[in-house]
Amino acid sequence: MREMDRHFGGGRATLHLRVTPLTGMTSLESMESALKEMETSAKSQLDACKTPEALEAIRVDVLGRKGRLAQVSKSMGQLTHEQRGGMGKLLNQVKELLETAFDARHAAFTREAMAKRLAGEWVDLTLPAKGPLRGGLHPVTIIQSEIEDVFRSLGFTVLDGPEVETEYHNFDALNIPADHPARDMQDTFWMTGGNLLRTHTSPVQVRGMKKLGPPLRMIAPGRVFRNEEVDASHEHTFYQLEGMMIDRDVSVAHLIYFMKTLLSEVFRRDVTVRLRPGYFPFVEPGFELDIECLICGGKGCPVCKQSGWVELLPCGLVHPNVLRQGGIDPDEWNGFAFGLGLTRLAMMRYGIDDIRLLMSGDLRFLNQF
């Protein structure tokens, strides 16, 4: 058996060291016995070693600059020249073996850590890849496109208007001059230069009349802005859908027919509505069409402000002044107009009890549609 194997169990790569300082070694025999003792203690220590940190502590104690082997090496000065040659060789063999054993133990710890990490990261490369996540339509967009389809089938053109509007289109052309108290009905975000964020989709009435000329049937869905307090049924940014029909001899009966068609297509069931007089400077007569609150079934809740009714669809016959602003002769033509609260309609249709959810961008909410 080689000298090294005699001391370290046949050259096995696991060693166990005892952390006891070697002091006062003066003879070859005591050095050899110290190495034997080191073998035994190294075995038990390496066996018991559970962490890379503990392994490092043992390495420093045995192989470090001031470690146990270094101390044996220092004591060699007391040996004879011949003894030193043999002992030096033995020490080198022991050192090499110890280093190999520590490296092997260290590699085992590294492998264990890697295996643990890989177990957590395990990927089956044979699985089919995940496709891209599919988006969905926003509830307001769903209802808007349904209503567009209904009105297109009734001969209406779908128009778009600018969100940054002139004061003229948003107010003056709609029979609301600067000193008119009705301007206060809609709190306005004013821009520098006299423009504003449109407070309703009604300015598209004027643009539509000029663009299409009579007779005309148009709708104009879009985003509107109001500088108002936000609560369960009021947003500062919401959607409306404007509608207008200009022809000869248009009456309130036509208006009611189209409003009924609109609601039955959206709800596809009976809903209770009420029509009451409403004031808007751009229609005469004007009406408010309310729907019985579908959140509380008319009992009263924060959405309907405990009234049981939700304002949804103001409408009326177009005021002659507005026709004139659109370049249409009111003696020859007349018509109706309405301004549907699209965001509130989406709330009623889907039973959404807080308007703020619609603009929240919260995926937990949006994924339901």
In the complex, the residues that contact ligand FA5 under the rule CB under 6 A are 186, 200, 202, 226, 228, 234-235, 238, 240, 280, 283, 286, 311-312, 314-316, 337-339, 341, 343-344, 355
Q: What's the closest the beta carbon of residue 231 comes to ligand FA5, in angstroms?
A: 9
What is the SS3 assignment for 223? strand
Pick 151 or 280: Cβ nearer ligand FA5: 280
| DSSP code string of 11-41 | T-S-------------SHHHHHHHHHHHHHH
244 Cβ contact partners less than 8 Å away, ≥ 6 residues apart? 205, 208, 209, 216, 217, 218, 219, 318, 335, 336, 337, 338
| DSSP code string of 253-298 | HHHHHHHHHHHHHHHSS---EEEEE---TTEEEEEEEEEE-TTTTT
CB distance 328 to 350 below 8 Å = no
Q: What's the closest the beta carbon of residue 226 comes to ligand FA5, in angstroms?
A: 5
Q: What's the closest the beta carbon of residue 264 comes to ligand FA5, in angstroms?
A: 18
Pick 87 or 159: Cβ nearer ligand FA5: 159
Dihedral sign for Cα 345, 347, 351, 353, please.
Answer: negative
Residue nearest to ligand FA5 (CB): 341
Q: What's the closest the beta carbon of residue 201 comes to ligand FA5, in angstroms?
A: 7
Q: What's the closest the beta carbon of residue 143 comes to ligand FA5, in angstroms?
A: 13
Write down how long the chain is.
369
Pick 8 or 309: Cβ nearer ligand FA5: 309
Q: What's the closest the beta carbon of residue 208 comes to ligand FA5, in angstroms?
A: 12
Q: What's the closest the beta carbon of residue 339 comes to ligand FA5, in angstroms?
A: 2
Is the omega angle on the peptide bond into residue 330 within 30 degrees of 0, that is, cis? no
Rounded to the nearest 10 degrees, the angle between the axes of helix 139-153 and helix 342-350 is: 110
Pick 31 or 241: Cβ nearer ligand FA5: 241
CA 66 to CA 316: how far, in whole Å? Answer: 99
Pick 85 or 177: Cβ nearer ligand FA5: 177
What is the SS3 assignment for 219? strand
